[in-house]
Amino acid sequence: MNNPLSTITLFFSLLLLQVLILNNILFLGFINPYVYIAFVFYFPLKENRIPFLFYCFLLGISIDFFSDTGGIHAISIVFIAYIRLFFIRLYLKKTAIDYPFFNLNSEPFGKVFNYVVTLTVIHHFIYFSFANFSFQNFSNVLLNTLFSSIFTLILFFLGAFIFKKKN
């Protein structure tokens, strides 16, 4: 994934997938998958995080533009992009020396699962907190976070399994 062309392709394919297909899914009236956050998981690790945060902001604000959500996606994805390195160090035990060689597909499934689940739940909690923006709806925030996270994770791991390259 260190190829700039594959990063650009991932950016636009996730944007189009989210805007054209996944935003139109409303399972059981309130569950919506947000698979565009896979961009954060698959973006190459680098020392300089400013361009990465900018790309995540562009992805989030583009989805906000098409979804008419006023910046909520941008806030959520930039936050998980900012804290991503902490969880890579925590779960995957990577240091700055390992960044150029990091590939999420080559890591053990259990570590990847913990990493992806944690960032997905954080993203969804921030998103639904800003979407509801009320303490009276806190139970709705938790339910939406839980069920949308499960739906997103199922789609993410299913897609990762289908598109996984054989070594």
Structure confidence by residue, pLDDT tens digits, 32-80: 899 999 999 988 887 788 999 999 999 999 999 998 888 999 999 999 9
Percent of the chain with pLDDT over 70: 97
**pLDDT band per the 50, 70, 90 thresholds, residue 167:** very low
Res. 166: pLDDT tops 70: no
In this structure, are residues 41 and 105 in contact, taking their beta carbons and an 8 Å threshold? no
Q: Report the domain count for the chain.
A: 1
Assigned domain for 103 exists: yes
Assigned domain for 98 exists: yes
Assigned domain for 48 exists: yes
Assigned domain for 95 exists: yes
- Output phi, psi for 95, to 5 deg: -120, 180
Assigned domain for 167 exists: no
- Output phi, psi for 157, to 5 deg: -70, -30
Assigned domain for 14 exists: yes
Read off the pLDDT of residues 7-26 as tens digits, 9 standing for 90 and up.
888 889 988 888 888 888 87
Res. 161: pLDDT tops 50: yes
Domain hosting residue 60, numbered range: 4-162
Bridge partners of 27, per DSSP, are 31
Res. 2: pLDDT tops 70: no
